[in-house]
Structure 1
């Protein structure tokens, strides 16, 4: 479950990014994240744990500094002992924005899950610190995190692999690199288990800026596919055998591009 907010404090933004965000010419998504986090006075901490490249954290620090951030940190968390380091928690606590990079989301969950770093990220977001994550860093915002599955458009039994995520928001399930890697089938498979979840498929260079009211605005050059199963009349998941195609009746799907908005609680899309 998301960490409870303190009375009078608004939760920070939760910003899942579909990966491949523009970093050089017009870094619209990263610039908006910085602006919401304090602009030039922002303190951005990068968590590059999902990546196995040694320079990922430093590269993002440089990107944020070029945008105008005066103070950045990168936490070299590569194992669970690092994720228990109180010095790293103290650095996180200085942040106005936390950025989690792409890579392998299972690496993120197995290293960070249940550690003081994960607890600090959740608590800080509840206290108003903004969280942005790209690719793997986007997938882990869900309570139920997609870790793999089938490509294509037809959902199947066994067509998606799920693992516990960080649970910053517990009413959505997120997939990334969505249209680029043809991932509709696995998002549909995920929501077929339980219509409580809203499926959010993020194209590359596209982000959902989710505010404290659980209303998000689309930012970026691609689109967000929203799968709303709240009015579903039938799912064959309970009867399906391994590999069977699923029957799903009365699903609602929205395709939202830059500037469009979606209310996760009300399950309603808007054009600004």
Structure 2
């Protein structure tokens, strides 16, 4: 479950990004993140754990500095022992915003899952610290994290693989690189397990800026696909097997272009 609200505090923004966000020419997503973090007064913590490239943390430090952030630091967490270090937790708690990079989301869950770092992230977000994550850093936002699956349109019984995520949001399951990698079928497979979950597919260079009232605003150059199964009449998931196609009746889908909004509490979509 997400960390409970802290009395007198507004939860920080949660910003999953679909990956491949623009970093040089009109980086609107990253610029808005820096501005939310405080601009010249921002203290941004970068966690590059998902990436196996040595310079990922340093690259984002440079990007955020060029966008006007006051202070940026990276936590070199490459194994579970690092995520247990109190000195890293102490550094994290000084931040106004946290950014988790892309890479392999199973590296995130196996290295960070159940550690003081994740506990601190959840508690800080509840106190007003903003969180953004791109690609793998977006996938791990949800309580149920997609780790793999089929491409295409038609969902199947074995069409998606799931693992525990960080649980900043527990009513949403997120997929990234959505349109570019043809991932509709695996998102549909994920929501077919339980109509409690709302599916959110993020195109590349597209982000969901989710405020403390659980209202999403689309920012970037692509679209966000919302799958709402709350009124579903039938899912054949319980009886299907293998690569058998699923029957899903009365699903609701929204395609949200930049500027559009979605209210997760009322499950209503809005134009600009």
**TM-score, normalized by length of structure 2?**
0.99
Residue in structure 2 matched with residue 167 of structure 1 by the alignment:
167
Structure 2 CA distance, aligned partners of 1:36 and 1:70?
12
Matches within 5 A, 1:130-169: 130-169=130-169
Residue in structure 2 matched with residue 102 of structure 1 by the alignment:
102
Farther off after superposition, 171-180 or 235-244: 235-244
In structure 2, stretches of 5+ residues that fail to align are none
How far apart are 1:39 and its partner, in Å? 1.2
Residue in structure 2 matched with residue 117 of structure 1 by the alignment:
117
Task: Tell me the secondary structure at the aligned position of residue 242 of structure 2.
Answer: coil
How far apart are 1:98 and its partner, in Å? 0.1
Matches within 5 A, 1:53-68: 53-68=53-68
How far apart are 1:157 and its partner, in Å? 0.2
Residue in structure 2 matched with residue 77 of structure 1 by the alignment:
77
Residue in structure 2 matched with residue 231 of structure 1 by the alignment:
231
Task: Tell me the secondary structure at the aligned position of residue 189 of structure 1.
Answer: helix
**Off by >2 Å, runs of 4+ in structure 1:** none
Structure 2 CA distance, aligned partners of 1:87 and 1:73?
13
**TM-score, normalized by length of structure 1?**
0.99
In structure 1, stretches of 5+ residues that fail to align are none
RMSD of equivalent CA atoms:
0.5
How far apart are 1:243 and its partner, in Å? 1.4
Task: Tell me the secondary structure at the aligned position of residue 201 of structure 1.
Answer: strand
Deviations 1:208-245 (A, max 9, x none): 00011111000000000000001100000001012110
Residue in structure 2 matched with residue 90 of structure 1 by the alignment:
90
Residue in structure 2 matched with residue 270 of structure 1 by the alignment:
270
Residue in structure 2 matched with residue 188 of structure 1 by the alignment:
188
Task: Tell me the secondary structure at the aligned position of residue 34 of structure 1.
Answer: helix
Residue in structure 2 matched with residue 214 of structure 1 by the alignment:
214
How far apart are 1:262 and its partner, in Å? 0.1
Structure 1 CA distance, aligned partners of 2:178 and 2:265?
23
Residue in structure 2 matched with residue 249 of structure 1 by the alignment:
249
- Count matched residues: 272
